[in-house]
Structure 1
Amino acid sequence: MEPIVHTVFEPQTSTWQYVVADPATKTAVIIDPVLDFDPARNAVSTTSADGLLALTREKGYTVDRLLDTHVHADHLTAAKYLQDRLAKAGKRPEVGIGRRIGAVQERFAERYGIAKEEYGGAFDKLLDDDEIFHVGELEAKAVHLPGHTPDHMGYMIGKNIFCGDSLFNPDVGSARCDFPGGNAKDLYQTASRLFTLPPTYKIYTGHDYPPKTPRSEPQACSTVADQMEHNKHLKSGTPEAEFVAWRTERDAGLAEPRLIHQALQVNIRAGRLPGDGLLHVPVRVEGW
């Protein structure tokens, strides 16, 4: 039996959020939920997350896991907010992420001056590579997909893999690899691993930035066959050296994501806001 997949697009950060449910038991997981942040007002709100909660109530789902694919640099995770709300409604779901999160937390905690007690134990479940878990009666697997970030984990549920920022849709291509621990060679190998899946399997992406033509609407997924034939950066047969050279040059000219400093500080805490209500934003001094 295949899962029911609900795709929910958050337009401010172009993020795909997923509610994936077992139709037999109505057990569900939520993948990569978004906590809204307005940088002009430094204000956090929960409209997107509340929409996910409304969807699960409408469908009668019991959410037993909240999963992030990685420590996002472009949006804040709503995992902790959703966990608290669901706990008040009767069931506290686990917040899970890949087991390499510790090194990422330490790196950014040092950068932003965050004490270990603020992020230690923030995640309830650290998933091993190829670890099997269940969504109701459905078998699921955690799949390490490094390259964009070193901790990056995808989630295979039925004939679907939720790959986060490993691959975008074929007409968008691949994710940047210049964050700490990112690596273009690793991303190439990740794509190669995804391409070993059966051609009809679906790859659900973490973001979509649709070009103006030929499509203008965001798209959540594509098949393995589509990616292999049409991915504009990494289609089947693309030489590794060619991709690595292009990706490295391209990344060197990219600006920082708009919410990188706010997102990293919140996301290493699994979505918990700092106790003092303060986020640290570094200042770049030029031409002083």
Structure 2
Amino acid sequence: MIPATFEYVRPTTVEEAAQILRNAAGDDVKLLAGGQSLLPLLRLRLAYPAALIDIGRIDELRGVRDEPDHVYIAAMTTHDEVVKSAVVQEQCPLVALATAQVADPAVRHRGTFGGSMAHADPAGDLPAVALALDMTFVVLSADGTREIPAAEFFVDYLETALEPGEILLGAKVPKLGPGWGFHYEKFHRTAQAWAIVGVAAAVKRDNGTISEGRIALTNMGTVPVRAFAAERRLPGVPITNGYGELREAVSVAAEGTDPPTDLHGRPDYRRHLAVVLTERAVRQAAV
């Protein structure tokens, strides 16, 4: 199909983009990043904004920075750039592991880190990772900047805490330090498909046992969810020869979730998958 008509603007600084957003108050305006989610919606006329602000030429929205206590990933950094970043691989490998499973190479070369977060699809791979790692999102408006914890960023299906007129600048990914292991386990029909269920796991190892665990689930509700019930059971579980204890600990991984029903599975099927995949993810992370 042919998209509806819209005004097209291409700013070169974030301040210019923020001012355009402020001037467009009351109008339906969309930010164009990689376009991998927005352009299909435009073609199908499921979205028909009055204006499109292309932020693709704003250099300050790209790149990865190694800060003292966190890694900063700018919003317009492509998935491929995130995966290949030596800083990301060393300091926050869970981000690299999950990003490498986003769609296919063509999408990863165009799609952006911030675009995936702002789109807030609960079946997307990165929102759950943001939750598991307690990322903090940095946003800008014409009034200044503010920070939003990942736990507060994802509000509902395809809805975030971003206010009208705000632009996602990037995310701060905390450095968890030595002793942590990571894994992202994803179940899907084909390599390019959305996750039917996904699990982002971070596990801290201490003297042969798990001392702390973080587990976040993909596509188990309208937003990514933390499996707190399973996390509380993980401390003390042996890393080797503790499969029985681990299986018991993660048996409550789906507790409190509200998975969708669609062509790919019913809620009970997804709850079963969440438990199975959580066991796999935690086991791999603890190795």
Task: Please state which band the TM-score falls in when normalised by the shorter chain.
Answer: under 0.3
TM (normalized to structure 2)? Answer: 0.27
Question: RCO (CA 8 Å, sep 6+): is it higher in 1 or 2?
Answer: 1
Which structure would you say has the larger Rg?
2
TM (normalized to structure 1)? Answer: 0.27
| Bigger share in helix | 2
